[in-house]
Amino acid sequence: MNLKKYSISSNLICILIIWIFHLSGIFGILYGNSEWFISLTPLNLSVSFFLLVYVNKNHFKTIVFIFSCFLIGMISEILGVKFGVIFGDYEYGSALGLKIFDVPLLIGANWAILTVSCSALSETLFDSVFIKIITGVFLMVMLDAVIEPIAPILNFWEFDGGKAPLKNYLGWVIVAFPLNFIYHILNIKVNGTFTHHLIILNILFFSILLLQLNTLKNLI
């Protein structure tokens, strides 16, 4: 019983931490020292990834899936940056930290976060495996569409020509579909509702920044 209580308490603490980080980021970027708060983006992503692993530490299959998403995401992005395949011609800025083959390690972490969070949310919404997969892919592509106009301003990444092409979104579908498929076919399970909060906060964070796009251009 005590272990169960501790587990619930740990999940609630993890949820509270990501709420504090994301809300602080929103208000800090819009109303505070925007450059300083943007520089903390690697920390925010790192904490989110670490907590995603931590809350699922007792689910070996889930941990393996998380790091598989990381690896597949990194390989896909390296192919994209180096050869222009999958997503189009683009390059990463310096805001996301340490890179391997010109791709920030945190991009792999982001693929893992989005895949697991979107898949877990769709798992709770629908019974049909096909609908779950489609919903997860849709959520991932939708979030990317929200981030794309903001990414160059925040020095995350930028496409040649300044605008993400249709190929980028098709590339997201190509990578996201098999990842979501594997999640549901292998019956991956996450612990608690941490992932639900994580995807909601990501959508909230970038939607607010998108709505304040002109403000961001003037701040940075």
How many whole angstroms separate alpha carbon 172 and alpha carbon 21?
26
| Per-residue pLDDT tens over the stretch 130-163 | 999 999 999 999 999 999 999 998 889 999 988 9
In the chain, % of residues over pLDDT 70: 93
Residue 215: pLDDT over 80: no
With 0-12 CB in 10 A as exposed, 13-18 as middle and 19+ as buried, what is 83? Answer: exposed
The total number of residues written for the chain in this structure: 220
pTM of the model: 0.90
In the chain, % of residues over pLDDT 90: 75
pLDDT category at 3 given cuts 50, 70, 90 is very low
pLDDT category at 1 given cuts 50, 70, 90 is very low
| Per-residue pLDDT tens over the stretch 11-66 | 899 999 999 999 998 888 888 777 788 888 889 999 999 999 999 999 999 999 99
**Domain ranges within the chain, ordered by starting residue:** 2-219
